[in-house]
Amino acid sequence: MGTDDHAFRLGQVLVVCAPSGTGKSTLIEMLRKEFSNFSFSVSYTTRAPRGEEQDGREYNFVSRDAFIIMRSKGAFCEWAEVHGNFYGTATKPVVEMLDQGRDVLFDIDVQGAKQLKKTFYKGTYVFLLPPSQDELVRRLEGRDTDSERSIKRRLGNAAGEMSQAKWFDYWVVNDNLAEAYQELRAVYLASRCKPSLRPGILGSVLDTWTDNG
């Protein structure tokens, strides 16, 4: 084993969750722009394609019966029913990407993250927090896309989601976007250095050692 083996590492699962309005999409986009090695698993859904969506690109579109059969066989690492349609992430393609050294990024809700953790327990789970309730209200109102009723519902959901934050590996408060990004970036870079993701590095270095004693 030579020093070139230092370059190989297994992929990392990075899961990012946050209440609506926290700025998760912006931070994830910043991370993806800087690091081009992220992969995404194409989810399965029982809903019909919309607009110019293509099977295998936006989603894998399957029948309800086919989805239920896959679920019964344990094919999904996470799944949910939303507005009468099923959505799920298949385990096999994620594992294949990780084995190829590709990092897989999940932008997902808390319940989906909890399911993922059962399979990918060595992944890195990050919860983004708003600095305060008032600031979250200000951001939601500033989007000018939600009614007052919708904002109240999102605030209630946010409280429930934050009550689950205790089991995440890292917390990042998005008060200042630049600072929050640096923290999220640092978490990701640190996660790449886990010994479990670079199983050959120690042996590779030790192979270069000579006994000078």
User: Is residue 108 located within the same domain as residue 48?
Assistant: no
Query: So what's the pLDDT on residue 147?
Result: 80
CATH of the domain at 174: 3.40.50.300
Mean of the per-residue pLDDT values of the chain: 90
Q: Is the dihedral of CA 140, 145, 151, 154 positive or negative?
A: negative
User: Is residue 114 located within the same domain as residue 157?
Assistant: yes
Tokens of 24: 């998760």
pLDDT digit string (tens) for 26-67?
A: 999 999 999 988 998 889 999 999 898 899 988 999 999 999
85-90/44-45 β-pairing: antiparallel
User: Is residue 27 located within the same domain as residue 44?
Assistant: no
Instruction: Give the structural domain span for 193.
Output: 1-37+103-213
Residue 3, pLDDT > 60, answer: no
From 101, 120, 153, give the residue that closes a domain: 101
pTM of the model: 0.84
User: Is residue 202 located within the same domain as residue 153?
Assistant: yes
Backbone angles phi, psi at 12, to 5 degrees: -120, 140
Q: Considering only CA atoms, which of 187, 201, 172 is closest in space to residue 35? A: 187
Q: For residues 104 and 12, give the distance between their C-alpha atoms in angstroms, rounded to a whole number.
A: 6
Question: Is the distance from CB of 129 to CB of 162 less than 8 angstroms?
Answer: yes
Q: Letter for the amino acid at 103?
A: D
Backbone angles phi, psi at 171, to 5 degrees: -120, 135
User: Is residue 111 located within the same domain as residue 198?
Assistant: yes
Query: So what's the pLDDT on residue 213?
Result: 52
Average pLDDT score over residue span 162-167: 94
Query: So what's the pLDDT on residue 41?
Result: 81
Q: Is the dihedral of CA 165, 17, 11, 116 positive or negative?
A: positive
User: Is residue 189 located within the same domain as residue 152?
Assistant: yes
User: Is residue 124 located within the same domain as residue 137?
Assistant: yes
Number of domain units in the chain: 2
CATH of the domain at 94: 3.30.63.10
User: Is residue 192 located within the same domain as residue 126?
Assistant: yes
User: Is residue 204 located within the same domain as residue 122?
Assistant: yes
